[in-house]
Structure 1
Amino acid sequence: MPPRRSYDQYCSAARALDLVGDRWTLLIVRELLAGPLRYTDLHADLPGVSTDVLASRLRDMERDGLATRRRLPPPGAASVYELTDRGRELLPVLQALGAWGQAELGERRPTDAVRAHWFSLPLLRQLDGEGIVEVRLEEGHFHLYAGAEDGPVYGDGPAPGEPDALLVLDTGTCTAIGRGELSLVQAVREGRVEVNGDGTLAKSLRDT
């Protein structure tokens, strides 16, 4: 494997960008925060990336200790990629970058792809506490692991088992939260988010 390119600057920011500054790398991290994924699933949720570039970025991430690849036992018998502990440490970096980038979202362009689970990180920034939260949108369902210290941060589809809170909202409300125009607490107060469940997270949201 060829050596990693470097800015050759004795600066921690430059060193970090040596590892994650290439196009697509942080978006691959965003997807792998959902847990182990097959290459085909990664490619499907990264519209616009070529197969060659995706394969190259994954090799770089393996080399740099951000991700690993392993083979699932039968009957799965497929290879999956997952973040290492070092790779998972990029969650607050992505959260900070997402918060900073809210002002750049604006209206959705006709060429913009969207996946329901891309709203996971903005919603996680709004949750105070720990537990599993299921979110239902017109585009699909996903679930969040609020306060998770290891394992997946979010996942597609309904929550496994009974969630601590179930949030039902429309895409417009979720988009407004993602753009920083509306907080989750405000949306609940205004009746734009339906909160169900008996868990601590559900009760705290209803009591705000």
Structure 2
Amino acid sequence: MSPRARRSYDQYCSAARTLDAVGDRWTLLIVRELLAGPRRYTDLHADLPGVSTDVLASRLKDMERDGLTTRRRLPPPGAAYVYELTARGRALLPVLEALGAWGAGELGERRPTDAVRAHWFALPLLRALRAAGAGEGLVEVRSDEGDFHLYADTTGEGPGEGPVYGDGPAPAEPDARLVLDAVTCAALGRGEIALRDAVRDGRVRVTGDGAPAKALREG
């Protein structure tokens, strides 16, 4: 399948040009998934419930054409193709965080038809950690929805060229470990409670000896 001809608003405006590149349905959610690092097509499809295989393939081709992603083959024994963000694609992290903050109040209660993945709470928790002044470090999150880890930062620009977050337990001893239930996780995602308040009220249990853990416990 060849990439589609680019559709354009044909407006000399940076916002319009941005929407030319990322305004299609699913594009920014693909970016959200690839902020976890290189991913196979099958993994992307599994974590984007509702997208058809044709649409996903088309969006990935468009994103590669527009310089947002690249595709490479893993060495043996993997020998699978993975997609990953370019520096230009990674620069959309603050855009996604701003969209998430703007839309937090739109979440409401989870609907019966709503899919959920634990790592979808990573970006809201990154914002919450930053607002709490937790500093930088590797943070593991254990919730009813599942475990994931993230790399807290103070700038909102992410940890250089590495992943912003990932599924499952932290790949090394975390600087902080947060344990919380699904209700608290959702409340943090909706912006209904600050992370420091949730820690103080016992809704989030914090362990670890790193700077983020100490900052949250001392708050």
TM-score by length of 2: 0.94
- SS state at 2:106 partner: helix
Equivalent residue, structure 1, for 2:101: 99
1:15 and 2:26 correspond? no
Which runs of 5 or more residues in structure 2 are unaligned?
154-158
Amino acid at match of 2:197: Q
CA distance in 1, matches of 2:129, 2:110: 25
1:188 and 2:199 correspond? yes
1:117-128, aligned counterparts within 5 Å? 117-128=119-130
Question: Post-superposition shift, 1:157?
Answer: 0.3
CA distance in 1, matches of 2:186, 2:145: 12
Equivalent residue, structure 2, for 1:5: 7
Q: Which one of 126, 137, 144 corresponds to residue 131 of structure 1?
A: 137
1:176 and 2:182 correspond? no
Question: Post-superposition shift, 1:8?
Answer: 0.2
1:128-182 alpha-carbon deviations (Å, 9 max, x no partner): 3111000001121000011213210000000011000000000100100000101
Question: Post-superposition shift, 1:127?
Answer: 1.4
Equivalent residue, structure 2, for 1:62: 64
Equivalent residue, structure 1, for 2:156: none
Q: Which one of 48, 51, 63 corresponds to residue 50 of structure 2?
A: 48
CA contact (8 A) 2:97 2:127 kept: yes
Structure 1 ranges of 4+ moved more than 2 A = none
Which runs of 5 or more residues in structure 1 are unaligned?
none
Question: Post-superposition shift, 1:3?
Answer: 2.7
Amino acid at match of 1:168: V
Equivalent residue, structure 2, for 1:29: 31
RMSD: 0.7
Equivalent residue, structure 1, for 2:148: 142
CA distance in 2, matches of 1:46, 1:11: 30
Q: Which one of 174, 181, 204 corresponds to residue 163 of structure 1?
A: 174
Amino acid at match of 1:5: R
1:152 and 2:163 correspond? yes
Equivalent residue, structure 2, for 1:198: 209
CA contact (8 A) 2:4 2:62 kept: no
CA distance in 1, matches of 2:165, 2:72: 20
Equivalent residue, structure 2, for 1:82: 84
Amino acid at match of 1:42: L
Q: How many residue pairs are counted as aligned between the two chains?
A: 208
Identity rate, percent: 79
CA contact (8 A) 2:143 2:179 kept: yes
CA contact (8 A) 2:4 2:58 kept: no
